[in-house]
Amino acid sequence: MTEPDRVEPRRRLLWNGLRWGLALLIIAVLLRMVKPADFVHALSGVPLYPYLAIAGAYLLISFFADSGYWWMFLRLFGIHRPYDEMLAVRGYTYLLMVINYGFSVGGIGVYLRNRAGVPALRSGAMMLLFMVSEWLCLAALTLLGLRMVGDGRLPELALFCAVFVAATLALILLLKSPWISTRAARVGVPGVLHDTPLRVWLSVVVLRAPYLGLMIVYHAVALPMFGVSAPPEVVAAFVPALLFIAGLPLTPAGLGTAQAAMVYAFRDYGAPENILAMSLATMVLVTFGRLPIGLWYAWRRPAILG
């Protein structure tokens, strides 16, 4: 193994260590804000069976919606696969979501290469296009939500989202210019990044909104169960912002950053221990609640990713 080969794993290990360290530090600070007894009381006060019913309904509905989105996403690029196959693919890749959300998206790229005959470079570019589009959708929903509330909260996030949307749109238009497009193709940049029509980009972004909207509905129903009485318009405004913050690659799966943002955003509508309990319960739900779906399809369709 050469010296550069040895350095790269060390850098990755250091970066992951820093991310975990930051996550644990944030959680430790948040836990110091609340008394352990109050936090336990906040969890024990949740009506367990109604919450599990809401959580289970969210997991199932979002699973079918997510699979439907990917079915439509592939059709936008001329790839026609049966919907039941997309259910199996998305279900199987939920196992990878326990490690990292990006890994679950990469699993779909592996499926496209191995089962749909899409070249590796193109499938990877399609997954990159999806990730950028999802961030665009979240940023747009965040800006819309903060505009709805209009109380000046999270101004830095609003500015960041506005800059992100503007810069991404500028980059997309730049990639589509004839001068850049020709040279990008010449150096091997996948055509999907510079040849995709704007209407397809727009469709990929807009079609993701209903799936993300399910998380807003889940929060609107679940927050009162944890003693957080935020109005629906506030929930609709802040949940996309929380998802955007959780998606920033600062900590693993948004651990710590998502909880801190949620405590800050909903501080006027509930006690910190109740908000923190809701946020951690949601993280456990989203990360581990999908495991049964993944295990089911891993047992029924073990070779679905090829």
For 71-121, how does the pLDDT look when each residue is reduced to its tens digit (9 = 90+)?
Answer: 999 999 999 999 999 999 999 999 888 777 888 899 999 999 998 888 888
Query: Residue 61: pLDDT above 90?
Result: yes
Query: Residue 6: pLDDT above 60?
Result: no
Query: Residue 22: pLDDT above 70?
Result: yes
Asked if the structure places residue 112 within a domain, the reply is yes
What is the reported pLDDT for 233?
82
Between 46 and 3, where is the model more confident? 46
Closest CA to 270 of 216, 236, 233, 224: 224
Asked if the structure places residue 12 within a domain, the reply is no
Q: Can you tell me the distance from the alpha carbon of 105 to that of 126, in angstroms, rounded to the nearest whole number?
A: 10
For 178-205, how does the pLDDT look when each residue is reduced to its tens digit (9 = 90+)?
Answer: 766 666 666 555 666 667 888 999 999 9
Q: Can you tell me the distance from the alpha carbon of 242 to that of 145, in angstroms, rounded to the nearest whole number?
A: 11
Query: Residue 21: pLDDT above 60?
Result: yes
For residues 212 and 236, is the Cβ–Cβ distance under 8 A? no
Asked if the structure places residue 35 within a domain, the reply is no
What is the reported pLDDT for 153?
63
Asked if the structure places residue 151 within a domain, the reply is yes
For residues 227 and 42, is the Cβ–Cβ distance under 8 A? yes
Asked if the structure places residue 174 within a domain, the reply is yes
State the Cα torsion 67-98-278-268 to the nearest 10°: -80
Query: pLDDT class for 212, splitting at 50, 70, 90?
Result: very high
For 217-254, how does the pLDDT look when each residue is reduced to its tens digit (9 = 90+)?
Answer: 999 999 999 999 998 888 988 898 888 887 777 777 77
For 119-165, how does the pLDDT look when each residue is reduced to its tens digit (9 = 90+)?
Answer: 888 898 899 899 999 989 988 988 888 787 775 666 777 888 889 89
CA 247, chain centre distance (Å): 6
Counting the structural domains of the chain, the total is 1
Asked if the structure places residue 41 within a domain, the reply is no
Q: Residue by residue, what is the 3-state secondary structure of the chain?
A: CCHHHHHHHHHHHHHHHHHHHHHHHHHHHHHHHCCHHHHHHHHHCCCHHHHHHHHHHHHHHHHHHHHHHHHHHHHHCCCCCCHHHHHHHHHHHHHHHCCCHHHHHHHHHHHHHHHCCCCHHHHHHHHHHHHHHHHHHHHHHHHHHHHHHCCCCCHHHHHHHHHHHHHHHHHHHHHHCHHHHHHHHHCCCCHHHHHCCHHHHHHHHHHHHHHHHHHHHHHHHHHHHHCCCCCHHHHHHHHHHHHHHHHCCCCHHHCCHHHHHHHHHCCCCCCHHHHHHHHHHHHHHHHHCCHHHHHHHHHHCCCCCC
Residue in the block written with tokens 């820093």: 18
Asked if the structure places residue 9 within a domain, the reply is no
For 269-278, how does the pLDDT look when each residue is reduced to its tens digit (9 = 90+)?
Answer: 999 999 999 9
Compute the C-alpha angle 64/137/232, nearest 5°.
75
Asked if the structure places residue 13 within a domain, the reply is no
φ, ψ at 261 (rounded to 5°)? -65, -40
Q: Can you tell me the distance from the alpha carbon of 196 to that of 164, in angstroms, rounded to the nearest whole number?
A: 20
Domain extent at residue 220: 54-300
What is the reported pLDDT for 69?
96
Average confidence (pLDDT) over 10-23: 80
What is the reported pLDDT for 189?
54
State the Cα torsion 137-141-142-145 to the nearest 10°: 180
Between 177 and 262, where is the model more confident? 262
Average confidence (pLDDT) over 57-68: 95
